[in-house]
Amino acid sequence: MPILPRLASLWRNLSRKAGVERDLDEELAAYLDLLAEEKMRMGMDPAAARRAARIEAGGVEQLKERVRGARIGAFADTLLLDLRYGARLLARSPGFAAVAVLALALGIGANTAISSVIYGVLLRPLPYPEAGRLVMVSRHFARSTFPYGNLCLADYLDWRAGNRAFEDPAAWNRRRFDLTGATEPEQVSGAEVTAGFFAALRVRPLLGRVFGAGEDGPAKQRLAVLSESLWRRRFGGNPGVIGQAVDLDGNRSTVVGVMPSAFHFPRPDSEVWTNLVFDAPTRRGPFFYRGLARLKPGVTLTQAQAELDAIARRIELADPRTSHLTFPVVPLREAIVGDARPALLVLFGAVSLVLLIAAVNVANLLLARATAREREMAVRLGLGAGRARLLRQLLTESGLLALLGGAAGVAVAALGLALLRAWNPGNLPRIQEVHLDARVLGLTLLVSLLTGILFGLAPALQSSRADLAPMLKEGGRGNSASAGSRRTRAALVVAEIALSLLLLAGAALFLRSFVRLQQVETGLLVPAARVLTMQISPSAAKYRDDKSRIAFYDRLLERVRQLPGVAAAAVSDSLPPDREGDADTYVIAGRPLAPGELNPIVSAPTVSADYFRTLGIPLLKGRLFDERDKLDAPPVAIISEGMARRDFAGQDPIGQRIKRSGPEFSASPYMEIVGVVGNTRYLGLASALDAVYYEPLPQNAGRKLFLAVRSAAAAASLAPMVRREIRTVDQDAVVTAVATMEQALSDAVAQPRFRTVLLAAFAAVALLLAAIGIYGVIAWSVAQRTHEIGVRMALGARRSDVLRLVVGQGAHLALAGIGLGLAGAFAVTRVLANLLFGVSATDPLTFILVPLLLAAVALAASLIPAQRAAMIDPHVALKYE
Amino acid sequence: MKETQEEAASQTNLLQGTLDLLILKALALGELHGLGVARRIEQITRGTFQVKPGSLFPALHRMEESGWLSSAWGESENKRRAKYYRLSKAGKRQLAAETAHWQRISLAIASALSAT
């Protein structure tokens, strides 16, 4: 078939449409004339002949429509026409258009944003070659509260010695380094790593090299790899940095390489990696290290686990004190993002519900409009429009709406993502890597189109079924077709209410849980805004041993106490609510444990004498630490009330003796318990663990300590003065994490706050959409029943009767939706159980209040049209007929 | 309303292919306007096929766009402007091809029906 004439015709049809149409008009007019003439020649009079010709031709408009349909480019042509018509219709009812587009934009936008986060965080492969083979190895033993605890170096060496399943087993320890030298001292985040670390990840340096095999272990030269950001910031991006020395925690280290800025492991802010220099371990502990390795090709996770299980058995056999030891192997991605998954999946469920509600709402609006257009459709059918042609037009219109919604949704999603990233909620892993993904975007467009087609279909089918005769006869008040539509719309609204209830119930549970979390007794009696905290590390070069460091902190505390407005000051290696220092298990004098038995691992902060007074932790029994508790004095400890209850129920804990457990402490003396203080938490607010024992600073001094300063008024303003005092005592001290206790408490609930705020926002959107849905249905039904209501009022119904009638209709819908939603919510909220704190997934208060709220909103939404109905003037209503 | 539409549709289906062939044949003898084509077909099929305008005009336009027909405005027997269609070269080729095709089919059908 020749292509050229077809293209020419297509061009002509699309570009010179008016001319083509005129041609067609003339051609058909000539045809009718010729036909009539023919009939006149056969003896008919002119008027009869013309009428007969017209009847034989069967409707000029229908004829034209058929010719148009046969033309090339008819599809594109009508699409353009429909789009233009659809756009005009939307512009003519801006309220309808705005509500529909807004609903879709919110649904699609929220969905795209959360899907992008889920894809970026949970699904996207880690940015390393063959990342699927990377695994994390950790340690778990009986009674330990941590399923994925840290390894010790002896574990790592045993693993490496027995390894056959892994390429490049490595151990690493995340830590912060004080970087001192030529310029301003600063603290940088980084890690100590064994040689296998970079090899396992298969990353290449931007400059220089990474650590080679054999560059870790005893008596090795200290090396450092810098991040690109640190290299640019401190060394001006000078390639000559390779071979230079930097001071990290007072250790002179040689820079061997620079990593590109895309490398963020183990943390997004990691800026320096040092080779792990260690002496051959003499015991199992301390447990500071994570295992990282790449599975050999073809080795499964199960095989790798079996190998590590065998290694664990050998360790148990060699040391009877260990029992139930395992080294769990998990994929690296799982280890990084596993904790974030449940909350993200809940949010994904929530946004899916929002999209569903939005789509139902739009379907509802389309249906309402379809009813209003029944007459138009009937007339067009009568004028010769084909049914398929009408269907196509209606689908084009709903598709247009969906695409507009989709476009606005992309904007909403981009905005939402930007907000999420700026907010950087409670250490959500990989959030920096999240961006609007092309695939997610494509999916969104598909979803929005499908939404349009799917939810445009029902109303479109209904409209195109419209029957001409009754429609025109009844003056557009069509009742027969409306009955089905009324039922459909009612069902849609019921579904909408039910779905909203699901969301509201989830949000309410999160909200209640969050409030509970914030009400957790911190155990601190001083108002949190009056306590300023910061972390200090004195320069490692000047303060080499415990004695000099204790002297440093003593001098500093002395000076800080002199500052105006300071009521008390103390240093410690831990701070509530979650800045944990040391944690260890312990033994009690005179109470031997069975082999393999352990007391729980509890927080063991080291604190200076004024610590309890500074934070407001009350003394319940005995005494606090004081100047008696020097380095060479008899060791003492203070325990928390929770530990006293757990271990010394019915006895006097004062005078009892405890010490750290483990073979390395077998020679160390017991500490005598001298006091009992109130409970406070060091492992986060949600932690149930309230057993704590404190040791006095001089008897166990760490290198980096927290300074806590209590002021008479708001403490934030003290920060500059305190910094100045620190500078005076030690020029090179590094000060970080300056925050009031209030901020620290708020940060501690950042993740629950994140999911609570998001879920609450989604629920609010759902509630709004449901309210619009109910309002729409009731208002439409009032408009349809104007005549009926007029008759009722003419027959003596009072305004209150009308009000009751209309509101009753809304109440029916609300009740049905709430019933359905409650059943669903009871089934669904159980999945939230693990994310809740202090609230059960079937919390009665939630399940009473949420339906009440929804019912109230439903009533309010039907009250407006009800009042309008009550205002109907029977005279006008009946004349309107 | 419904009946006429359905009738028209079924007639189109019946004539699809046949109608094209008949139009090509009718125009092979010389150029004609729309009504002329209809009347010529009635004539050459001895009144068996009465082509309704609802089928005729879409077919004419479709065939013109396919390049088989060309059209021009001319003057009719009653001195009116009318659109005249004629076969193009491609149309003549198409007529030959369809004629051969049709003869093959009718032969096959005839032998199928006379088989015992």
Going along chain B from its start, the domains and CATH numbers come out as: 2-114 (1.10.10.10)
Among partner residues A30, A31, A67, which is closest to B58 by beta-carbon distance? Answer: A67
Q: Residue A42 CB: number of other CB atoms within 10 A?
A: 9
pLDDT in tens, A732-780: 888 888 899 988 888 888 888 888 888 898 899 888 888 888 887 788 7
CB contact under 8 A, A34 and B8: no
User: What are the pLDDT digits (tens) for A152-195?
Assistant: 899 999 999 999 999 999 999 988 888 887 677 888 889 999 99
Q: What are phi and psi of B88, to 5 degrees?
A: -90, 180
Q: What is the C-alpha separation between A245 and A242, in angstroms, rounded?
A: 9
* Cα A630 to Cα A131, A674, B3, B68, B75, distances in angstroms: 52, 14, 108, 111, 124
Predicted pLDDT of residue A620: 93
Beta-carbon separation of B65 and A26 below 8 A: no
Instruction: Report the residue from A1, A4, A57 with minimal CB separation from B53.
Output: A57
pLDDT digits (tens, 9 = 90+) for B1-58: 334 444 444 444 445 568 888 899 999 888 898 888 989 988 888 887 888 888 888 8
Say if the Cβ atoms of B66 and A66 lie within 8 Å: no
DSSP string, A603-662: E--EE-TTHHHHHTPPEEEE----TT--TTSPPEEEEEHHHHHHH-TTS--TT-EEEE-S
Residue A80 confidence (pLDDT): 77
Interface residues of A toward B, Cβ cutoff 8 Å, are 1-2, 4-6, 9, 23, 26-28, 30-31, 33-35, 37-38, 56-58, 62-63, 66-67, 69-72, 382, 386, 468
The token duo for A728 is 């005076």
Q: Which residues of B touch A69 (CB under 8 A)?
A: 58
Q: Hey, are the CB atoms on A31 and B52 less than 8 Å from each other?
A: no
The answer to which of A53-67, A110-124, A812-826, B85-99 has the lowest mean pLDDT is A53-67
Nearest-by-Cβ selection for B57 from A9, A63, A72: A63
> Could you read off the pLDDT of A345-385 as tens digits, one per residue?
888 889 888 888 888 888 887 777 777 777 777 777 777 67
Measure the CA–CA gap between A672 and A660, rounded to whole angstroms.
Answer: 12
Provide the Cα torsion A536, A538, A543, A546; round to 10°.
0
Its pTM stands at 0.72
Q: Which residues of A touch B90 (CB under 8 A)?
A: 2
Q: What pLDDT does residue A72 have?
A: 67
Please name the member of B8, B65, B90 whose beta carbon is closest to the beta carbon of A72: B65
Element holding A354 (H helix, E strand): helix A341-372
Picking from B57, B73, B93 by the largest number of A CB atoms within 10 A of its own CB, the best residue to mutate is B57
Return the HEC string of A549-560: HHHHHHHHHHHH
Are A462 and A782 within 8 A, CB to CB? no
- Say yes or no to pLDDT of A586 above 50: yes
Provide the pLDDT for residue A532.
94
Nearest to B65 among A6, A26, A56 (CB): A6
CA–CA min distance B33, chain A (Å): 8
pLDDT at A328: 92
Pick from A724, A773, A767: nearest CA to A856: A767
- In sequence order, which residues have a C-beta less than 8 Å from that of residue A724 and are 6 or more positions away? none
Q: Do B35 and A67 touch (CB under 8 A)?
A: no
Chain B residues interacting with chain A (CB cutoff of 8 angstroms): 1, 4-5, 8, 33-35, 52-54, 57-59, 61-62, 64-67, 76, 78, 80-83, 90
All residues of chain A having their beta carbon less than 8 Å from the beta carbon of residue B61 are 67, 70-71
Q: Which of A63, A69, A72 sits opposite B53 (nearest CB)?
A: A63
Phi, psi angle pair for A144, to nearest 5°: -70, 140
User: What pLDDT score does A771 carry?
Assistant: 86
Nearest chain A residue (CA) to B69: A5
Between residues A386 and A807, which one has the greater pLDDT?
A807
Averaged over A197-212, what is the pLDDT?
93
| CB-closest option in A28, A34, A386 to B76 | A34
pLDDT for res A463 = 64
pLDDT(A116) > 50: yes
Residue A776 or A561, more confident: A561
Q: How many CA atoms lie within 13 A of A226 on its CB side?
A: 29
Q: In Å, what is the CA distance from A305 to each residue of A163, A330, A804?
A: 11, 9, 69
Contacts of A4 in chain B (CB under 8 A): 67
| Shortest alpha-carbon distance between residue B109 and chain A (Å) | 27
Q: Which residues of A touch B6 (CB under 8 A)?
A: none
| pLDDT, mean of residues A650-655 | 92
| Cβ-contact A498, A679 below 8 angstroms | no
pLDDT digit string, tens, across residues A435-488 = 777 777 788 778 777 877 776 776 667 666 656 555 555 544 444 445 666 787
Predicted confidence at residue A359, as pLDDT, reads 82
Q: How high is the pLDDT of residue B74?
A: 85
The per-residue pLDDT for A392 is: 79
Give the Cα separation of A478 and A375 in Å (integer).
8
B83 vs A71: CB contact, 8 Å cut-off? no
Tokens representing A764 are 């609010």
User: Which residue in A374, A395, A366, A360 sits closest to A481, CA to CA?
Assistant: A374
More confident residue, A8 or A755: A755
A847 min Cα distance to partner chain B (Å): 55
Give dist(CA A533, CA A445) in Å, integer. 49
CA distance A473 to chain B (A): 16
- B81 with A9: Cβ contact below 8 A: no
Total residue count of chain B as it appears in this document? 116
Instruction: Indicate the helix (H) or strand (E) that contains A251.
Output: strand A251-259
Yes or no, beta carbons of A1 and B35 under 8 Å apart = no
- Model confidence pLDDT, tens digit, residues A597-626: 777 778 889 999 999 999 999 999 999 999
Residue of A nearest to B53 (CA): A57
Q: Which residues on chain B are in Cβ contact (under 8 Å) with A56?
A: 53
Mean pLDDT of B89-112: 88
The helix, strand and coil proportions of chain B, stated in percent and rounded to the nearest 5, come to 65, 15, 20
DSSP code for B16: T
Residue A4 confidence class, pLDDT cut points 50, 70, 90: low
Encode pLDDT of A705-718 as tens digits: 899 999 988 888 89
- Closest Cα of chain A to B94: distance in Å? 9
Residue of B nearest to A386 (CA): B5
A841 vs A831: CA distance, rounded Å: 8
pLDDT in tens, A403-415: 888 889 889 988 9
Q: pLDDT confidence of A663, banded at 50, 70, 90? A: low
* Higher-scoring residue by pLDDT: A551, A68: A551
> Given pLDDT bands bounded at 50, 70 and 90, which one contains residue A869?
confident
The Cα–Cα gap between A560 and A393 comes to 78
Least confidently predicted of A282-286, A505-509, A658-662, A801-805: A282-286
pLDDT digits (tens, 9 = 90+) for A205-232: 999 999 988 898 888 899 999 999 999 9
Within 10 angstroms of residue A601's Cβ, the number of other Cβ atoms is 20
Residue A500's Cβ-side half-sphere holds a number of Cα atoms within 13 Å equal to 35
The pLDDT tens digits for A292-310 are 999 999 999 999 999 999 9
Contact A70 B1 (CB under 8 A): no
CB contact under 8 A, B34 and A38: no
Partner-chain contact A1 B58, CB within 8 Å: no
DSSP letter, residue A526: S
Rounded to whole angstroms, the Cα distance separating B8 from A85 reads: 29
Distance, in angstroms, between A472 CA and closest chain B CA? 15
Q: Which residues of B touch A1 (CB under 8 A)?
A: 66-67
Q: Are A145 and A135 in contact (CB under 8 A)?
A: no
Best mutation site among A25, A54, A67, A71 for testing chain B: the one with the most B CBs within 10 Å? Answer: A67
Q: State the pLDDT at residue A269.
A: 82
Q: Is A837 a residue whose pLDDT tops 60? A: yes
Asked if the Cβ–Cβ distance from B62 to A70 is below 8 Å, we say yes
Rounded to a whole number of angstroms, the distance from the CA of A76 to the nearest CA of chain B is: 16
Q: What is the mean pLDDT of residues B75-96?
A: 86
Percent over 90 (pLDDT), chain A: 27
- For residue A5, pLDDT over 70 is answered with no
CA A463 to chain centre: 42
Q: How far is the C-alpha of A855 from the C-alpha of A860, rounded, in Å?
A: 9
Binned at pLDDT 50, 70 and 90, residue A627 comes out as confident
C-alpha–C-alpha distance, residues A410 and A398, integer Å: 18
Supply the pLDDT for residue B10. 43
In angstroms, the separation between the Cα of residue B110 and the nearest Cα of chain A is 30
Query: In degrees rounded to 5, what are phi and psi of residue A753?
Result: -65, -45
Least CB-CB distance to B83: which of A5, A9, A27? A27
3-state secondary structure of A382: helix
Pairing of strands A270-275, A186-193: parallel
Are the Cβ atoms of A58 and B65 closer than 8 angstroms? no
Q: Please tell me the distance in Å from A88's CA to the nearest CA on chain B.
A: 30
CB of A504 within 8 A of CB of A770? no
User: Of the candidates A26, A25, A27, A51, which has an alpha carbon nearest to the alpha carbon of residue A39?
Assistant: A51
| For residue A701, pLDDT beyond 50 | yes
SS (H, E, C) A678-696: CCCCCCCCCCCCCCEEEEE
Contact A34 B59 (CB under 8 A): no
Say if CB A209 and CB A257 are below 8 A apart.
yes
pLDDT in tens, A496-512: 899 999 999 999 999 99
Asked if residue A577 has a cis previous peptide bond (ω within 30° of 0), the answer is yes
Task: Tell me which of A197-201, A334-338, A371-375 is least confident.
Answer: A371-375
> What's the whole-number average pLDDT of chain A?
84
**Are the beta carbons of A257 and A235 closer than 8 angstroms?**
no
Q: From residue A546, how far is each of A206, A613, A631, A682, A688 by CA, in Å?
A: 40, 24, 10, 24, 33
- How distant is the Cα of A774 from the closest Cα of chain B, in angstroms? 38
Which candidate from A6, A33, A58 shows the least CB-CB separation from B80? A33
Strands (E), A689-843: 693-696, 705-711, 734-740
A464 vs B66, more confident: B66
Closest by Cα among A225, A235, A215, A212 to A258: A225
Give the whole-angstrom CA distance, residue A835 versus residue A827: 16
Nearest chain B alpha carbon to A32: B35
Q: Do B76 and A69 touch (CB under 8 A)?
A: no
Residue B67: both structure tokens together = 């390049």
Tens of pLDDT, residues A530-545: 999 999 988 877 888 8
Question: Which residue in B has a C-alpha nearest to residue A468's C-alpha?
Answer: B1
Q: Which residues contact A706 (CB under 8 A, 6 or more apart)?
A: A533, A534, A535, A536, A571, A572, A573, A574, A575, A579, A737
Share of chain B above pLDDT 70, in %: 84
